[in-house]
Structures are given as C-alpha cells and as structure tokens.
Amino acid sequence: MPQTPHHGSGPSASRPLAGLTAIVTGAGRGLGRAEALELAALGANLVVNDYGQPGRDGSGEASAAPAEEVAAEIRASGGRALAHLGDVADFAVARELVGLAVSTYGRLDILVNNAGILRDRMVFSMTEDEWDSVIRVHLKGHFNTTRFAAAHWRDRAKAAGAPVYGRIVNTSSEAFLAGSAGQPNYAAAKGGIVGLTTSTANALAKYGVTANAICPRARTRMTQDVFGAAADTGGGTPDPLAPEHVAPLVGYLASPAAGGVDGQLFVVHGGMVAVVERPRVAAVFDTAKEMFGYEELDGLLTPYYAGRPPGESFAAPEILTLGHRA
C-alpha cells in the first residue's frame, strides 16, 4: 500500500491533505487559483505557479504577480504557500518548480497541472504559431512537470523499497470530447493530455502514484470570450460556471480517499461530476481472405455506416448538454 503522511495524530476529515505538499500550475487566477485555495483549505502546503509577472495597478503603484497574491492569500488564512513565477512549458523551469517544492517542504505529494492558453481559430485559418503555442503550453507543460514529479516519486519509492504517496490531476477539456470545431489546437492538446494521463497512471501505479484528468467548465479570464460574463441571478445564487465548483473534485482526487481512483476522466462544473467511460469497440470486421481489399471493405463498411445515425462520429457532443440535476 502507498505510504501515508505522518503529521501528529493523522489527517482529520476536514483536513485530509495536512502535511502534504502540492504544486498547482497556472494558479494565479481562475481555476488554478480556486484549486490552490481548496488544497490549502484541506491542509496542503502549496507552491503556486503562474507565468504572470509583477505589474502596476491603476494608480501606477507596483503590484504583486498573481501567483504571489494567491500565495499571500493562503498564508493570510494560516496556510503555508510560496509563489513560483515561470513558464512550465520550459523544461528547465518545470525542473526548477518541482525542485523548489522538494527543497522547501521536503517532498512533493500532489501535482495539479492547469496552466494553459487559448488561440481559437478554424483549422483552415490557423497559423503555425497558434498551433504550436497551444500545444506547447498545454501538452508540453503537462508533460514537463509530470516528468520531474514522476522521477521524484520513483526515486523515493526505490529508496523506501515501497510505494509512496503521489497524486497527479491533469486538466483536459470537453473540447476534446465534443470535437470543438473552432479549437483544433486546443482539442488536440487536451486529447493528448488524456493520453498522457492514462500512460502516466499505468507507469506510476507500482510506485503508489495515481493520475487522473478532469474536463472542467468554468468562467475564467481564459474563457471569457467563450462563456461571457456571469448572469445576474439575484439573491446571491452562485454562478454555475464559477471555478469554485471544480476545485472540490481536485481536492478529492488529491486526497488519500481517492487512492483507488486512477487513470480516470471526469467532466465537472456547476454542482455536477460525470465519470466518462472509456472507449469501447462498436464493431469488428474480419476478412474472408488473407487480407482486405477495397471491394471487400466497401461491402462491409458502407452498409454498416449507412445504418448508423447521420453525423455520428467518435466525438461526443452530448457531453456539452450535461448539467446539474436539481
């Protein structure tokens, strides 16, 4: 069994992450910020990563970088947190980030990959830079941090001669599941993240590490052009697309209670969590000869698809209709 952390009499139900150390990337605003605050509230020590640099406010006064503001907010609430300003899509920066967590808190236990950007455009209009930048930040950024966290956990497990505690939560998207037409770069990156997640889950299970992916729907600075501003519902009703609806699932997946949850994909937003089933084989065709030819495939596949619903494909746009059932 994976080793559990030692911190006094053990974690309470309200602070299941007490004594654990977490990295959250892209945590200066939006989803990452909500996730970092959630993990801190559950007891974790935080390294808050974001690419944003210090700036100046409306009066011209110097202002802290977003990651520094989130770390300060956690410390003001009695938690332990420090900021890391850097681009996790840079291999060396990701190594530095994981090293900072280990040198500051003694070890790393939880990695939440959230950093990302959008460069939306139809595939026939997309530039090379719009493709490369999104793949770099999302997919390579997830790989970079995972690579160094995984090496840390493998080394610890080998030194201990037993599994250790490790949790990875990666951020995919419904754009991958539904085949979002205006986001070929983003959908490809998010699909790649699911592949990275399941591969990592299989590779690290023997070391006590789990890896799962979430597809969150949230109103953030990155998605403001997609979802627009929150509607005024009145009466203090929470925005169903608030990032705070997503953060508790991340907290759960990072916890000891989720030790049996591995290689899974979830859709989460607005008071709803959906477990996405793995792909299943719909039909199998065998050649009657030594190998297929055009005519035989035409005779088998053409009538098969003629009997399928028009427009049905591997994409699952019905995912976009999921919502909280009050």
Catalytic residues, by residue number, are 173, 186, 190
CA-CA distance, 30 to 216, in Å (whole number)?
12
- Main-chain dihedrals φ then ψ at residue 275, nearest 5 degrees: -90, 120
Residue corresponding to tokens 């966290």: 149
CA 228 to chain centre: 22
Residue corresponding to tokens 């999302």: 138
Q: For strands 209-216 and 265-269, give the pairing.
A: parallel
Instruction: Give, as one character, the DSSP assignment of residue 228.
Output: -
Instruction: Quote the tokens at residue 153.
Output: 């956990």
Angle subtended at Cα 213 by Cα 165 and Cα 248, rounded to the nearest 5 degrees: 75
Q: For strands 55-56 and 110-113, give the pairing.
A: unpaired
Closest CA to 244 of 20, 41, 22: 41
3-state secondary structure 123-158: CCCCCHHHHHHHHHHHHHHHHHHHHHHHHHHHHHHH
CA-CA distance, 292 to 272, in Å (whole number)?
46
Closest CA to 258 of 147, 321, 168, 134: 168
